[in-house]
Amino acid sequence: MALFHLSFTLLSLAALFLMAADILTFDWIALWLIVLAVALNAFFGVMWYDETGKRKTQAKTTIAKVSRIFPMVSVVIPAHNQETNISNCIKSVFNCALNYRGPSEIIIIDDGSTDNTYELAWSTLSPLKEKMPQIHTRVLKHLAALGKEEAVRTGANKAMGEYVVLLETTVPCDYVSLDNLIDTIFSTQETMVSFEVSPPPQEGKITAKGIVQLYRADALRRTLNEEHAGKAVQELQP
């Protein structure tokens, strides 16, 4: 399109030059037609250039919006003999995930509990999954108590999210903003950020506080798996 406008303009100018060089055959009608053609060509050329600029601006805006899509977050909850807390914890995490602008999943790891933690986790999840199928959920179980670190490692290795939130069953997740956590880790460019959760005080009730940690999933897995490998090597040493 640009080459067409340029060639048309050059030909019109050349015709004007040839006509002006030979005064005897000067044709005023032809002159004004060529002037009109040049003017129209210039007018449409300006419109085409302006439209091209708008398209480039729109494309840049679209790319900026796409790059700000919120990544998937996996909430990993290790639990051992937490039948008194697991149901409330799951409900609060669902509320937290619903307010997040990106995809999310909830992974509960029962670390060899001897009470009904596993069964209560499933019974609490079932009706919530029917109401909110967009939130992925999984319940994993260790046949024996391997410790919190192993439970976290199991959850982190199974997580599908780009980021992993580590949460205790006693932390009130209703007051956690996953949007703010993601904004913070984006702006700081850290591999981990942590926040103290402090719900507003309620009369006659003791409000629990806790720490929520957000990790880049690849960095967390690398750290946990390297530590696990290091422990295995130490155990093999005489």
Going from the first residue of the chain to its last (238 residues), give the mean pLDDT of each consecutive group of 10, the final group possibly shorter: 57 62 57 66 65 59 53 96 94 92 95 95 92 92 94 95 93 84 91 80 56 92 82 50
Please give the residue range of the domain that contains residue 56. Answer: 2-67
Instruction: Output the pLDDT for position 238.
Output: 45
The first and second tokens of residue 37, run together, are 């053609």
Instruction: Output the pLDDT for position 47.
Output: 66
Q: In the listed set 20, 37, 67, which residue is the last one of a domain according to the structure? A: 67
Q: In what order do the strands lie in the sheet with 210-216?
A: 136-142, 104-111, 73-79, 163-166, 210-216, 192-197
Instruction: Output the pLDDT for position 215.
Output: 96
28 plus 54 within the same structural domain: yes
Q: In the listed set 67, 93, 119, which residue is the last one of a domain according to the structure? A: 67
107 plus 151 within the same structural domain: yes
Instruction: Output the pLDDT for position 138.
Output: 93
137 plus 42 within the same structural domain: no
Instruction: Output the pLDDT for position 237.
Output: 47
Q: In the listed set 67, 86, 112, which residue is the last one of a domain according to the structure? A: 67
Domain count, the chain: 2
Instruction: Output the pLDDT for position 64.
Output: 41
> Is 6 within 8 Å of 13 (Cβ atoms)?
no
- Neighbouring residues of 197: CB distance < 8 A, sequence distance ≥ 6: 171, 172, 173, 175, 176, 209, 210, 211, 212
